[in-house]
Structure 1
Amino acid sequence: MIEYVALVNKGLVHTTCDDSILVGHNIISNGKLMGCEDRDEGVFAVADGVGGLPFSELASREILRNIAECNARNKEEIINCVEKGNEKILSIRNQRKLFPNISSTLCIVALLEDEITTYNLGNSRAYRFRDGVLLQLTKDQTKVQQLYDMGLISESQMYTHPEKNIISGYVGCDEFDSKWIDVITHREKFRKKDLLMLCSDGVSDYISIDEVEDVLITDNELSIKADIILDKIYSNGAGDNISLILVNRL
């Protein structure tokens, strides 16, 4: 059995929200959703419309519509749905004569009993929390991550670098290739009392790992944990849209 809580919030700076999240078959772009499932499986995703451009929210919502019915057991189906979602975004862009680069990050977690598979494009993230430690499962597809991997900048410089918002993987691209999707079936299993966290950079940029761990290790209900994380992000400036999903295996 799993329980989940998901929330989307525009933050303190933006007047609109470009983020969307998928929990099961439900897509939300504002507010909070809680639930519980008897089965230990499902598809969860965060999509963050890139760049704060007008209509950029269309990209995040459209890509999630295309994976909402995907089977967590079928990797090929999920990848095909991402490809079709990219085509739909391009079609919407062309029909409405919108900005040529409306696009979205995408982070998917397919949960199948104790197996976790992540599908990642961009800098939205998936984490696993166990025994007080929050471990990042995905790797950012960004310019600063590339510079860090090459040893050209330090970890602390990643957060202040002038090109920290440049992403190298996204949907909404004419040259999109499914090989861009970083697909990992993780060797570490999803145990009982483990917790999954998916989020946009509006979370990861405004709250530290230590702060999140301090919240998740408490005995508070899952919904209260999400609210506390949101409050801390607001206290830290909330300069971007906020998307957060917490999934607990009971």
Structure 2
Amino acid sequence: MRAAMLSHVGLVRSNNEDSAFAGRRLLVIADGIGGLPAGELASDLIVKMLAPLDDGPEPEHPLASLREAVEAANRQIRETADAEPGREGMGSTVTSLLMASEQIALFHVGDSRAYLMRDGALSQLTKDDTYVQTLVDHGVLTPEEARAHPQRSVVTQAVQGDEFTPSGAILSPQAGDRYLLCSDGLSDYVSEEAIAATMRTYPDQRECVEGLVQHALHAGAPDNVSVIIADVSA
């Protein structure tokens, strides 16, 4: 994978609670939970715990390796919150891809997203762990209504020092695939059509992440926005 990453504080927030990593085989987006203490610390802990997977020998079981690293970060988050009561409730989303041999493992908790563009068509690989996604699943809201719902950012689970139920998958990459990982600072404010058009327009990864972040800024960027673009070559 060849990847580029960009994280921006946005136009409203005073600090950036997102953390991100883009290496030679590991991609991570972690979005600290807004409104709760030390969200930026939680997201940073997750990324630091996952980052060693980018070095050394390829893991034999990449999905299990991702889960073990996130569970270790989850224990650190619990220990930090227990030691400093003012940080109780600190947490973060995490969405990560790890390439091993000819597979890519996908690990996901929360509402940061992973997308795949293959042959010009964009598909969402993750499902948001959010209140509004539950309403969509039960037919109460349409996906379009969910995008504008005032509670669209309320997550139903995160890596927060307690038990969580991640989703995961083993993907079969093809040469020419383009992956996007992003925090909800992009996906909540920029349409999927605009995201797809930008990913088709800019073959260079750096220009593509800059173009996607610019879309979020033009939309007002009320949240932090973090974007990773990674291309798979033979």
Q: Name the residue aligned to 2:114.
A: 126
2:12 corresponds to 1:13: yes
From 141, 165, 168, the equivalent of 1:183 is: 168
Shift of 1:44: 1.0
Q: How far apart are 1:236 and its partner, in Å?
A: 0.8
Unaligned 5+ segments in structure 1 are 25-36
| AA of the residue aligned to 1:8 | S
Contact 2:7–2:18 under 8 Å retained in 1: yes
**Separation in 2 of the partners of 1:224 and 1:81?**
31
Partner of 2:154: 166
2:80 paired with 1:104: no
Measure the CA separation in 1 of the matches of 2:160 and 2:135. 24
51-60 vs 98-107, which moves further: 51-60
Matching residue's letter, 1:121:
V
The structural deviation recorded for 1:84 is 1.2
Listed as ranges, the matches of 1:33-52 within 5 Å are: 37=24, 42-52=25-35
- TM-score between the two structures when normalised by the length of structure 1: 0.85
1:94 to 1:202, Cα distance in 2 relative to 1, 3 A: same
The CA distance in 2 between the partners of 1:197 and 1:13, in whole Å, is 24
Supply the distance in 1 between the matched residues of 2:46 and 2:91 (Cα, whole angstroms).
9
Deviation at 1:113, TM superposition (A): 4.5
Find the partner of 1:79 among 67, 74, 85: 67
Q: Residues 219 and 43 of structure 1: is their aligned pair in 2 closer, same or farther, counting only changes over 3 Å?
A: closer
- CA gap of 1:243–1:150, structure 2 versus 1, over 3 A, is same
- Provide the secondary structure at the position in 2 that maps to 1:68: helix
- Provide the residue aligned with 1:229 in structure 2: 212
CA RMSD of aligned residues (A): 1.6
User: Aligned with 1:98: secondary structure?
Assistant: helix
Going from structure 1 to structure 2, the CA distance change for 1:164 and 1:191 (only over 3 Å counts) comes to: same
Cα distance change, pair 96–148 in 1 and its aligned pair in 2 (3 A): same
The alpha-carbon distance between structure 1 residues 99 and 134, as it changes in their structure 2 partners (threshold 3 A), is same
Residues 19 and 44 in structure 2, CA contact (< 8 A), matched pair in contact too: yes
Is the counterpart of residue 90 in structure 1 residue 90 in structure 2?
Answer: no
CA separation of 1:140 and 1:72: change in aligned 2, threshold 3 A: farther
Q: Which blocks of at least 5 consecutive residues in structure 2 are unaligned?
A: none
Residues 49 and 162 of structure 1, relative CA distance in 2, 3 Å threshold: same
SS at match of 1:69: helix
What's the offset of the Cα at 1:72?
A: 4.9
CA contact (8 A) 2:17 2:34 kept: no
Identical aligned residues as a percent: 30
SS of match in other structure, 1:4? strand
Alpha-carbon distance in 2 for matches of 1:121, 1:220:
29
What is the aligned partner in structure 2 of residue 4 from structure 1?
3
Q: 1:158 to 1:72 in 2, by over 3 A?
A: farther
Amino acid at match of 1:181: P
Moved over 4 A (4+): none
CA distance in 2, matches of 1:73, 1:90: 28
* Distance change in 2, residues 1:72/1:195 (3 Å): farther
Pairwise mapping of residues 111-150 of structure 1 onto structure 2 (< 5 A)? 111-150=99-138
